Structure formats: structure tokens, C-alpha cells
Structure 1
Amino acid sequence: MLPVSPSIVLPESELVVRFLRADGPGGQHVNRTESAVELRFDVLHSPSLPEDVRARLLARRDRRLTDEGVLVIQARRFRDQGRNREDARERLVEIVRGALVAPKKRVATKPTRASKQRRLDGKQQRAKLKQNRSRSWSPE
């Protein structure tokens, strides 16, 4: 069981863990051990996730999310397989926790009179600068 929040717990049966050979430092040992971890979690078909959390996770533009709705996390930060497995699990929890909170709705506001005036003043100043450039320039 992987606790995400008091109401959401992801069972181990929904997590698919695969081990692969990691690149990077480690000498000859790195060529023989599969210390990198690939954790897969099917967001689209998971019965553990509430519908609103699932929708927010699938709506994210995340390159770790496949077209089939599977979240793929690769952990190869450490040389130890166990630490990489824990790292992948922690990252999955953080991603799901990020989707728990609904984003605030933006309240439409109008620009103030002063901000409109500042914008127009800036445009006039820029226009004058460009006008002065064209008068002083000569091809010689």
C-alpha cells in the first residue's frame, strides 16, 4: 500500500515495477546490475483514484504520461536499486498529491485607468524615439 492522502491509498497491485540497467558512474558493476527502476501506474483505469483527481492527472501536459493513460516514472538517481525504488514511489506520491488540489478559478479584472495611461505613455515615448531615429539617419 502506498498512502497518498488520508482518503487515497494506492495498492501495490496497481504499481508495475521494472528494473533496468542504469547509465552513469559505477565502473564495471554498473554493467552487471539492474539498479534503475521504472514505475508504471495506470491512471486511466485505476479504481483507487477519485474521478476529479484522475481527470486532473490526465489533463496535465506531462511527457511521463503515455497516450494510454499510464504514468511512467524512471528513477536512476542512486546506485542502489532499493533507494531508486523508494525515489520512484515518492515521486509518484508527489505527482498524485499535486492533482488533489483543484486550481483556483481566475477572476477576470479590468485594467485600471492609471495602468492604461502608463501603457499609452510608453507607446508614445517609443514612437517618438523611433521617429527621431529616422530623421537623424543618413546613408553616408
Structure 2
Amino acid sequence: MKDFSKELTFKTSRSSGAGGQNVNKVETSVTVLWKVLDSGFFNDEQKERIQHKLSNRINAEGFLYLTVSETRTQLMNKAKAIEKILELVDKALIVPKKRFATKPSKSQKQKRLDTKKKLSEKKENRKFRF
């Protein structure tokens, strides 16, 4: 996992939720912004993959953003935001394995035919005969 936390920009705002009077006075919610295309840590292919995978989190200016307001302190929210954005980008960079078609083996085919035969014989034996 690459640590590009030096390229991150932070904005703070008032958070909702638990905190009592603290919520109305202190800006504890942290929004982390990262300009994907201006990053020096990733090559063009990786940047393209990040933009494609995280397109729903990237705004019109090309900033990847994430807001965290889980804890009551700005410092802890900032740490969580860094952790989450690093994890998001790391997951976006994973290249899935290419799948290739396989055929069932002879024994699997034979087993399927045998079970079909047994089932048909069972049903045949259920028929009423004179």
C-alpha cells in the first residue's frame, strides 16, 4: 500500500450526531480531498484505474473526497479519513484475475448421467401397471 498522505488536503466542518454542545461549537467532521490526476505516486495506468473504480466518489474537478465524522475529535476523524482513503485506493488498484472457461471432466459427466438414470428408473418404478 502506497502512502500518499502528503498529497491529501483536509477540510473541517461541524459534525452531526453525538457530542452534546460540542457538536454545535467545534468542527470535528473531516473531509479529505485528493487530486487523482496530479498524484506523483501512481503511474497513468493506475490513475486511470482509480478514476474508473472510484468514479462515484470523484467530483467534476477530479478530486477524490471522503467525509468522516465517526468520533468526537477532529484528530481521530482525520486519522480515520487517511486510513479509509488509503484503503479505498488500495482496493481500487487490485487487478482481478482473468477467468478462463473450463470443461467438466469425464467422471463428472458420467456421474451426472448416472444420477439422471437412477432418478428416471425410480420414477419409472412408480408407475401403476396392470
Partner Cα distance (1:103, 1:11) in 2? 25
Equivalent position of 2:44 in the other structure: 51
Counting aligned pairs with the same residue, the percent is: 33
Q: Pick closer, same or farther for the CA change 1:75–1:60 going to 2, 3 Å.
A: same
1:31 aligns to 2:5 (yes or no): no
TM-score by length of 1: 0.67
Q: Per-residue displacement from partner, 1:78-109 (whole Å, max 9, x unpaired)?
A: 01100000000001110121133311112134
Deviations 1:12-37 (Å, cap 9, x if unpaired)?
A: 2x211000000011111110000000
Correspondence 1:72 to 2:70: no
* 1:11, distance to aligned residue in structure 2 (A): 5.3
Please report how far the alpha carbon of residue 46 of structure 1 lies from its aligned counterpart in structure 2 after TM superposition.
Answer: 1.4
Going from structure 1 to structure 2, the CA distance change for 1:100 and 1:60 (only over 3 Å counts) comes to closer
Normalising by structure 2, we get a TM-score of 0.71
Residue 66 of structure 1 and its aligned partner are, at CA, apart by: 1.6
Report the CA distance between 1:110 and its aligned residue.
Answer: 5.9
CA contact (8 A) 1:35 1:81 kept: yes
Q: After superposition, what is the alpha-carbon deviation per residue over 1:36-76, rounded to whole angstroms, capped at 9, x for unaligned?
A: 00000011221221222212111115532223331101010
Q: What stretches of structure 1 of length at least 5 have no aligned partner?
A: 122-140
Provide closer, same or farther for how the CA distance between residues 11 and 24 of structure 1 changes in structure 2, counting only shifts above 3 A. closer
RCO comparison, higher one (Cα < 8 Å, 6+)? 2
Structure 2 equivalent of residue 124 of structure 1: none
The range that moved more, 63-72 or 82-91, is 63-72
What secondary structure, in the 3-state scheme, does the structure 2 residue paired with 1:85 have? helix
State which drifts further: 68-77 or 98-107.
98-107
Q: Select the structure of larger CA radius of gyration.
A: 2
Q: In 2 relative to 1, CA 99–108 (structure 1 residues): closer, same or farther, beyond 3 Å?
A: same
Aligned length: 111
8 Å CA contact 1:39–1:73 kept in 2: the answer is: yes
Cα distance in 2, alignment partners of residues 85 and 32 from structure 1: 18
Q: How far apart, CA to CA, are the structure 2 residues paired with 1:111 and 1:62?
A: 39
Give the whole-Å Cα distance in 2 for the aligned partners of 1:91 and 1:34.
20
